[in-house]
Structure 1
Amino acid sequence: MSTAPPDGAAATPRVRANPWRRLVRAARPRATRAQVLAGLLCAALGFGVVVQVRQTDTAGLEDLRENELVRILDDTTERSDRLGEEVRQLQAARDELTAGSDSAEAAARAARSRADSYGLLAGTLPARGPGITATVTDPAGAVSAAQLLQTVQELRDAGAEALQIGATRVVASTAFLDAAAAADGGVVVDGRLEQPPYVVRAVGDPPTMATALDIPGGVRETLRQLGAQLAVTTSQDVAITALHAVSAPQYARPASPAPEQAPPQ
């Protein structure tokens, strides 16, 4: 049964809604109070992280005094000059090897020099030259292997070419372990027990190495916090007499040179 509109009244046409418009309206994100709060917290967290990173990057230098900044700058300049000198020496050796007539003799000299350098790095040759002697006194027995390793790393970064702790030669493979069983404390360096006072000898540029040990927050400050003292003396004649015993490889053998191939005909 249908109800007809009253006489004189116009029928109102029904408008069909656009299905795409309804779909877009349903998929439109609606911001709730929880979502707004989460967004604000994320923004605040990101801002805090950025501020902390910037403060971390600059706090290391902003808190230093003027003389400390000058010392760090001098150390950096000396390292740059030393690397530049090494570059010039390598370039001169290259030019000498490629000169022509005396190339064989130059190659022999370069090989001997390289063998001496490798012997010093491997600790199989004694060393002598300008350097420093660092003595660590440890009355409380609080100095551990970590502090001696830090001292060695600082000296290597400062250009130390040969190192010796007590009667032990320090090379790239030297291991540092705490001697827990020793009554008077000590550190085991490459299997040898070294006890305080620790005497570290290093051959290299004396001012650069001495400065490296005095950098704020470095070796001297770390030792002072442990109740130990560091005394550094520079000299133009420091002798490194301890040698590192090189063990024979168990599996490796020198490879025979590959046969030369005949040029194609």
Structure 2
Amino acid sequence: MPAPRLTGRARLGRALLRPSRTQLIVAVLLALVGFAAVTQIRTTEQDSTYAGLREQDLIDVLNGLAGTTQRTRAEIDRLTSDREDLQSESTQRQAALDRARDEVDNLQVLAGLVPVTGPGIRATITEETGSISVSSMLDVIQELRSVGAEAIQVNGEVRVIAQTSFEERVGGIEVDGTLLEAPYVVDAIGDASTLAGSISFALGPRAEVRKDGGEIEVEELDSLDIDAVREPVQPEYAQPD
């Protein structure tokens, strides 16, 4: 049985419900054209904002923009200068802190508060035919200090500083309250050859030790550990300004 013929209205309805590929392409093109037209209208409206201005108005606008640019550049320059100043101040503060730390480290070494390591000498004083006097021991210590010994210890027990006391006792020498017996081993950190020379020169400490009936042998060392430390002493009367 042949299919019934469709009326024109029916064919139009079917076409709308089932659009062909060509119809879809045409619809997309129409949408793009509409979007372009709207964009052009908006651009034209924006351009017309300045198109209606007088010459003097345009000059004023340009001057305003130029002023804004100058202020922006000035602000950038100011901020750049501030940053450089802060960096410079930070560098100066860091340098000051580094110097302060170095000074503290040096003072701790001189005060005998910390162990130290470095080149130096080991002077061993033995009693051959007599006892070593306090005078001879002090002569050794003072000569080492005078040529730049940075740290000194005796018998690995007592760190010698400016306030160290030496007293003669039966059986030995008392150093800061600690009784030490011969042989006395004096370790000193500094320039090894200079320290050794301060002990051995004519009429120096070696000659004094020999007068007491003793002998002193000096060994130069590339690395020497001084482990004896002192406890910090709090001043009773003196106060910092």
TM-score range, shorter chain: 0.5 to 0.7
Compute the displacement of 1:142 (Å).
2.1
Which amino acid counterpart does residue 228 of structure 1 have in structure 2?
A: G
Compute the displacement of 1:144 (Å).
1.3
1:114 aligns with 2:103: yes
The TM-score with structure 2 as length reference comes to: 0.60
Question: Which of 178, 184, 202 is equivalent to 2:168?
Answer: 178
Compute the displacement of 1:246 (Å).
2.4
Q: Deviations over 1:165-217 (max 9, x none)?
A: 111000000011111xx2xx211101100110000000000000001111110
Question: Which of 180, 196, 199 is equivalent to 1:210?
Answer: 196
Structure 1 moving runs of 4+ over 6 Å? none
Partner of 2:185: 199
1:189 aligns with 2:189: no
Partner of 1:125: 114
CA distance in structure 2 between the aligned counterparts of 1:193 and 1:141, rounded to whole angstroms: 18
* Structure 1: gaps (5+ residues): 1-98, 256-265
Q: 1:1-265 to 2 correspondence within 5 Å?
A: 102-166=91-155, 167-179=157-169, 182=170, 185-255=171-241
CA distance in structure 1 between the aligned counterparts of 2:231 and 2:128, rounded to whole angstroms: 32
Partner of 1:10: none
Which amino acid counterpart does residue 135 of structure 2 have in structure 1?
A: A
Q: Deviations over 1:108-135 (max 9, x none)?
A: 1111110000000000011100000000
Structural RMSD (CA): 1.6
CA distance in structure 1 between the aligned counterparts of 2:89 and 2:146, rounded to whole angstroms: 37
* Aligned-pair identity (%): 39
Shift in alpha-carbon separation, 1:193–1:141, aligned structure 2, 3 A = farther
CA distance in structure 1 between the aligned counterparts of 2:206 and 2:167, rounded to whole angstroms: 21
Are the equivalent residues in 1 in contact too, given 2:127–2:215 (CA < 8 A)? Answer: yes
Compute the displacement of 1:101 (Å).
6.3
Partner of 1:31: none
Q: Which sits farther off after the overlay, 185-194 or 198-207?
A: 185-194
Are the equivalent residues in 2 in contact too, given 1:131–1:203 (CA < 8 A)? Answer: yes
Which amino acid counterpart does residue 217 of structure 1 have in structure 2?
A: L
1:155 match: secondary structure: helix
**Aligned pairs, how many?**
153
Are the equivalent residues in 2 in contact too, given 1:131–1:235 (CA < 8 A)? Answer: yes
Are the equivalent residues in 2 in contact too, given 1:133–1:232 (CA < 8 A)? Answer: yes
Compute the displacement of 1:254 (Å).
4.2
Shift in alpha-carbon separation, 1:169–1:163, aligned structure 2, 3 A = same
Is the helix fraction higher in 1 or 2? 2
Q: Deviations over 1:62-81 (max 9, x none)?
A: xxxxxxxxxxxxxxxxxxxx
Compute the displacement of 1:251 (Å).
2.8
CA distance in structure 2 between the aligned counterparts of 1:188 and 1:141, rounded to whole angstroms: 17
Compute the displacement of 1:100 (Å).
6.8
CA distance in structure 1 between the aligned counterparts of 2:134 and 2:200, rounded to whole angstroms: 19
Compute the displacement of 1:245 (Å).
1.9
Are the equivalent residues in 2 in contact too, given 1:141–1:186 (CA < 8 A)? Answer: no
